Structure formats: C-alpha cells, structure tokens
C-alpha cells in the first residue's frame, strides 16, 4: 500500500500559501522528502499547462479507457480520472485498467505525477465496481444500523479491495443528513438510501466509521456533498435551479462535515444546489461564500475542494463548460470533476486564458495546484516508482515484498513466493511454476500465455501494477 507521510493539515496550508506568495522557490534539502517538499519539486518541474491539468478529474468508463479521456490526459495534461458507470467483471480487469491509466502519467503528459484514480464506491445502488474481488456493499442506510466496530472493519475490507484494484480515491462517504419524514421525497440521497441515518449524530458517527475504515486501507476519501443535499426536493444531476431553503451556516447538518474535516479527510466535494440562507445568488459549487467562507474559514478545511460533476449535471447547464471551471476555481475550488471528457478542452482553455490575464485568478490556480500536489504527496503518490523494464531485479522484488507485507530482502525467497501465491489465489507451495504464472497473469488482468516461469511481459505488467500500489 502507498504509505502516507503523516503531513498535518497546517503544513498543507503553509506549503500552499508559501509557494503562491513567492512563486516557485527552491526546495530546502531538509524538506525534499516531506509531502510539502515533494509537492514543491513536482510543481517546479511542471509546465504551466501541466499544472493546470492537475485541477481536473476526467471520466472514463470503468469498462475501459475512452479515447476522449486518453486525449484529455495526453493532450490537455489532465492529472486525475474517475471510473464511471458500472463494471461487474471483477477486480482483475480493473487492475489492468488502472495500470494502463497509471502509465499515461508520462513526463510529457503530467511531468510524471501519477493520476489520482477514483470511483464512486458508496454501496447499495451506488457501487461502480462489482464482481469477483469486490464485496457487494449494502446501502449506507443499512450500514448505519451496524455497530461502529463492524462498520469500521467492513469498510477497511472494502477499502483494501479498492486499493488492490489500483483505485486511489473513493468518492465517499455521503455525509448528507436526510430527515426521516422527507427521505422518500429527497431524490438525490434519500430515494437511494445513500444517507447513513436521519440525524446529524448518526451520520457523524456511522459516516465517520466508514471514513475511518477505508482510510486505514490507504484510500483517499471524499466527504460529500457540502453543505448537504438532505433538504432538497430535486436532483442536481437532472434538474436545474435546485434549492435548499433550510440549511444555514449553523445548521446541525453541517456537523458530519465538520467532524470529517477535524479527522483529516483530504477531499470535500461541493454540492451544486443553491442554499438560499447562505448564498441565494449562485450554486454552492460557484460560491466563495460557501467554499471560502463556510468550508475554508468556518470549518477550517485546508485540503482539496472538489466539485460535483460539472460536465453533465443539469444544475450547472446554464453556464458554458469553460465558465463552470473558471467560476469553481475563482470561488476557491481546486479539483474540477467532469464525467464528460468532451468538456475538457473548453474547460482547460478557459482556465488557462483567465489565468493569463487575471493575476488574482492566477494566484488561485497556483494555490489550488499546490493543494492537489501536496495532497497527492501526503497520500504517497509522489514517491519513487519502478522502472518498467521487465527485469525481476532487487528493486522490483523489494517493492513486491513491501506490497505483500513480508520482510524486504530484495531476493525472491520462499516466504515471498508463498505470500505472492496466496495473494493471487493459487496454492502456496514455494514453487513458482506454470500454475503460479497463470494465477498472477489472471490477477493482473492480462492474457495468460502458458509461461512456465517469469517472463518480461508479466514482470513489466507487475511493475506497472506495483506502481499503483506503493
């Protein structure tokens, strides 16, 4: 698993603000291996286009890489991906897909900064990845009836399944509170039983247990949909002008988000509804009053602020694609999510153009880029990576041993072989032969080739996969 740096929220803020105020300073030697130092080093080596690309997350079907998403990464330098739709074929094809995606983060595309690969794995009706290797998860409302211990343990298992499939970020949990009396008439959350309970205290406790469990599996998590969709009567995905006329800055329904922030959630996703008692003039996703005022200053959140979908959602259809991206970043947001890859050219072009002519906006872009890079570094994405050379040398074996959780010796000893055989689902007999090779190839999601022992094709795929894990 990717080891986190233990970076504090305060250090994230200091790193981001410091970089923006002075441009791109050299990284002090003592900080070169901290999350802040790694982020600064990545920022420094990036072109302006590559920096802006870090502010976008593009959709691709979980069933395979789309050409539009590949173009977004290669041509527009987009640095993050969300797996969309539904996949029921199990974990192995997802491993192959995430390994392929990881390889797209080249020097020319992203300056070698790995993609954040995300998906929606809430449970119940919202579980993108299914099949062998993924437990079928109940709804959040059902999870909310479990003991905290059981839920935390189960979430750890679900999180480990995602991480071993090469996913870095789960766009969960939903921390919206839906009152019991109106749950059936709340289309985005209550109708699908996406809430953990009907009171802020239950949502805080059980949503927090889910968050804690999956975080312990080295997943980055996303608290959503701030400041809550529990009081709306329409779905922002399918309806324009959705309004919450109940929530205020001091509402109890803010409490689950406040708790998640206090417990170090790295990402908060914004709602696209309008909150008339907070800022009635624009959707929360475009509101500096909500993002900068309430979330940043009120809750003290210094991590990555992500939009809800700005590609296809009807709630934002009145604005052009480019204007959506600019408005979100101008309001204090960091990561533009669009499931519709065809919107990326217009969005990137608009942000680039605005940054070129508006110094204030340019500063916000720089701040947002550093937040994303620092968060990636804190999650372990900016560490050393294996070279894809097909050679089962000491570096590759050491990485394999770290992934398996056995002693790191750099040699393929019986302990490592048994652990790998167990991990890929074949008999642990200390003998690495045709059966083990077949099991490994199936685990990696590549075609079996009848190999009797290690070959460069399989080792190269293993190296690529390990880069998604360590």
Predicted local distance difference test score (pLDDT) of residue 22: 27
Confidence class for position 3, pLDDT limits 50, 70, 90: low
Mean pLDDT of 233-256: 98
Predicted local distance difference test score (pLDDT) of residue 17: 33
Residue 107 has pLDDT above 70, yes or no: yes
Residues 354, 441 share a domain? no
Query: CB neighbours (10 Å) of residue 149?
Result: 10
Question: Residue 45: inside a domain, yes or no?
Answer: yes
Residue 253 has pLDDT above 60, yes or no: yes
Residues 402, 369 share a domain? no
- Count of domains observed in the chain: 2
Question: Residue 261: inside a domain, yes or no?
Answer: yes
Average pLDDT, the chain: 93
Mean pLDDT of 17-46: 63
Predicted local distance difference test score (pLDDT) of residue 27: 39
Mean pLDDT of 323-335: 98
The CATH number of the domain where 170 resides is what? 3.20.20.300
Residues 407, 370 share a domain? no
Domain limits for position 442? 394-467
- pLDDT, one tens digit per residue, over 384-408 is 999 999 999 999 999 999 999 999 9
Residue ending a domain, among 350, 378, 406, is 378
Residues 442, 303 share a domain? no
Pairing assessment for the beta strands 126-127 and 121-123 based on DSSP bridges? antiparallel
Question: Residue 217: inside a domain, yes or no?
Answer: yes
Question: Residue 50: inside a domain, yes or no?
Answer: yes
Residues 220, 162 share a domain? yes
Give the Cα separation of 325 and 449 in Å (integer): 46
Residues 438, 315 share a domain? no
Residue 1 has pLDDT above 60, yes or no: no
- pLDDT, one tens digit per residue, over 172-188 is 999 999 999 999 999 99
Give the Cα separation of 363 and 29 in Å (integer): 26
Residues 123, 156 share a domain? yes
58 touches 125 (CB < 8 A): no
Predicted local distance difference test score (pLDDT) of residue 9: 31
Residue 258 has pLDDT above 60, yes or no: yes
Predicted local distance difference test score (pLDDT) of residue 200: 98
Question: Residue 387: inside a domain, yes or no?
Answer: no
Residue 410 has pLDDT above 60, yes or no: yes
Q: Among 88, 104, 81, 67, which residue's Cα sits nearest to residue 342?
A: 67
> Using CB atoms within 10 A of its CB, is residue 325 exposed (0-12), middle (13-18) or buried (19+)?
buried
Residue 16 has pLDDT above 50, yes or no: no
Phi, psi dihedral angles at 136 (to 5 degrees):
-80, 115
Query: Is pLDDT larger for residue 337 or for residue 7?
Result: 337
Residue ending a domain, among 378, 405, 435, is 378
167 touches 215 (CB < 8 A): no
Mean pLDDT of 404-432: 97
- Interaxial angle between packed helices 394-404 and 414-424, expressed in degrees from 0 to 180 and rounded to the nearest 10: 60
Residues 281, 401 share a domain? no
Residues 116, 16 share a domain? yes
Give the Cα separation of 110 and 103 in Å (integer): 11
Predicted local distance difference test score (pLDDT) of residue 23: 38
Residue 30 has pLDDT above 50, yes or no: no
Residues 411, 364 share a domain? no
Confidence class for position 2, pLDDT limits 50, 70, 90: low
Residue 153 has pLDDT above 80, yes or no: yes
What is the token pair recorded at 347? 């969005």
Give the Cα separation of 247 and 253 in Å (integer): 8
Question: Residue 347: inside a domain, yes or no?
Answer: yes
Residue 213 has pLDDT above 90, yes or no: yes
Confidence class for position 13, pLDDT limits 50, 70, 90: very low
Residue 11 has pLDDT above 90, yes or no: no
Mean pLDDT of 228-250: 98
Question: Residue 389: inside a domain, yes or no?
Answer: no
Residue 15 has pLDDT above 60, yes or no: no
**SS3 labels along the chain:** CCCCCCCCHHHHHHHHHHHHHHCCCCCCHHHCCCHHHHHHHHHHHCCHHHHHHCCEEEEEECCCCCHHHHHHHHCCCCCEEEEECCECCCHHHHHHHHHHHHHCCCHHHHCCCCCEEEECEEECCEECECCCCCCCCCCHHHHCCCCHHHHHHHHHHHHHHHHHCCCCEECCCECCCCCHHHHHHCCCCHHHCCCCCCCHHHHHHHHHHHHHHHHCCCCEEEEEEECCCCCCCCCCCCCCCCEECCCCCCCHHHHHHHHHHHCCCCEEEECCCEEHHHHCCCCHHHCHHHHHHHHHHHCCCCCEEECCCCCCCHHHCCCCHHHHHHHHHHCCCCEEEECCHHHHHHHHHHHHHHHHHCHHHHHHHHHHHHHHHHHHHHCCCCCCCCCCCCCCCHHHHHHHHHHHCCCCCCCCCHHHHHHHHHHHCCCCCCCCCHHHHHHHHHHHCCCCCCCCCCCHHHHHHHHHHHHCCC
Predicted local distance difference test score (pLDDT) of residue 10: 33
Give the predicted TM-score (pTM) of the model. 0.93
Tokens 């992203």, residue located:
110
Tokens 């804190």, residue located:
378
What is the token pair recorded at 122? 């809430």
Give the Cα separation of 71 and 60 in Å (integer): 11
Mean pLDDT of 108-127: 98
Q: Which residues contact 384 (CB under 8 A, 6 or more apart)?
A: none
Residues 223, 180 share a domain? yes
Predicted local distance difference test score (pLDDT) of residue 32: 52
Predicted local distance difference test score (pLDDT) of residue 31: 44
Question: Residue 3: inside a domain, yes or no?
Answer: no
Through-space distance between the first and last CA atoms of the chain, rounded to whole angstroms: 5
Residue ending a domain, among 346, 378, 410, is 378
84, HSE (Cβ side, Cα atoms, 13 Å): 19
Q: Does residue 227 have a cis bond before it (omega within 30 degrees)? A: yes
Predicted local distance difference test score (pLDDT) of residue 6: 37
What is the token pair recorded at 394? 């000491």
Percent share of the chain, pLDDT over 90: 92
Predicted local distance difference test score (pLDDT) of residue 388: 97
Mean pLDDT of 430-454: 97
Residues 405, 374 share a domain? no
């Amino acid at each position: 698993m990717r080891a986190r740096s233990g970076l504090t929220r305060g250090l994230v803020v200091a790193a981001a603000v410091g970089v923006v105020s002075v441009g791109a300073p050299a990284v002090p030697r003592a900080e070169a291996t901290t999350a802040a130092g790694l982020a600064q080093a990545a920022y420094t080596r990036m072109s302006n286009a590559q920096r802006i690309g870090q502010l976008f997350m593009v959709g691709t079907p979980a069933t395979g890489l789309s050409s539009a998403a590949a173009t977004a990464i290669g041509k527009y330098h987009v640095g993050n991906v969300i797996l969309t739709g539904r996949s029921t074929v199990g974990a192995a094809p997802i491993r192959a897909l995430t390994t392929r995606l990881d390889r797209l983060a080249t020097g020319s595309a992203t300056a070698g900064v790995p993609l954040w690969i995300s998906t929606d794995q809430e449970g119940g009706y919202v579980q993108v990845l299914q099949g062998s290797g993924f437990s079928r998860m109940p709804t959040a409302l059902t999870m909310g009836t479990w003991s905290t211990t059981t839920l935390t343990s189960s979430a750890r298992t679900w999180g480990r399944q995602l991480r071993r499939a090469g996913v870095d970020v789960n766009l969960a949990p939903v921390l919206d509170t839906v009152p019991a009396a109106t749950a059936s008439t709340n289309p985005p959350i209550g109708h699908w039983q996406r809430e953990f309970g009907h009171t802020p205290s239950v949502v805080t406790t059980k949503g927090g247990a889910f968050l804690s469990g999956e975080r312990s599996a080295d997943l980055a998590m996303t608290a959503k949909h701030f400041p809550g969709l529990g009081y709306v009567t329409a779905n922002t995905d399918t309806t324009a002008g959705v309004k919450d006329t109940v929530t205020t800055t001091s509402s109890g329904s803010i409490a689950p988000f406040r708790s998640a922030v206090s417990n170090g959630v790295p990402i908060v996703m914004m709602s696209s509804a309008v909150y008339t008692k907070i800022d009635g003039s624009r959707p929360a996703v475009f509101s500096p009053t909500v993002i900068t005022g309430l979330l940043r200053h009120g809750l003290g959140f210094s991590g990555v602020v992500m939009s809800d979908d700005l590609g296809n959602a009807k709630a934002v259809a009145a604005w052009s694609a480019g204007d959506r991206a600019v408005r979100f970043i101008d309001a204090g947001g960091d990561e533009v999510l669009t499931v519709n890859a065809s919107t990326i050219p217009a969005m990137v072009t608009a942000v680039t153009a605005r940054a070129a002519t508006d110094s204030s906006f340019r500063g916000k872009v720089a701040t947002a880029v550093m937040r994303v890079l620092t968060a990636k570094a804190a999650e372990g994405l900016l560490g050393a990576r294996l070279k894809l050379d097909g050679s089962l040398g000491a570096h590759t074996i050491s990485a394999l041993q770290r992934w398996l959780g056995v002693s790191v010796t750099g040699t393929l000893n019986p302990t490592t072989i048994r652990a790998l055989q167990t991990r890929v689902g074949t008999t642990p007999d200390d003998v690495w032969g045709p059966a083990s090779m077949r099991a490994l190839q199936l685990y990696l999601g590549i075609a079996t080739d009848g190999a009797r022992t290690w070959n460069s094709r399989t080792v190269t795929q293993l190296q690529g996969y390990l880069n998604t894990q360590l």
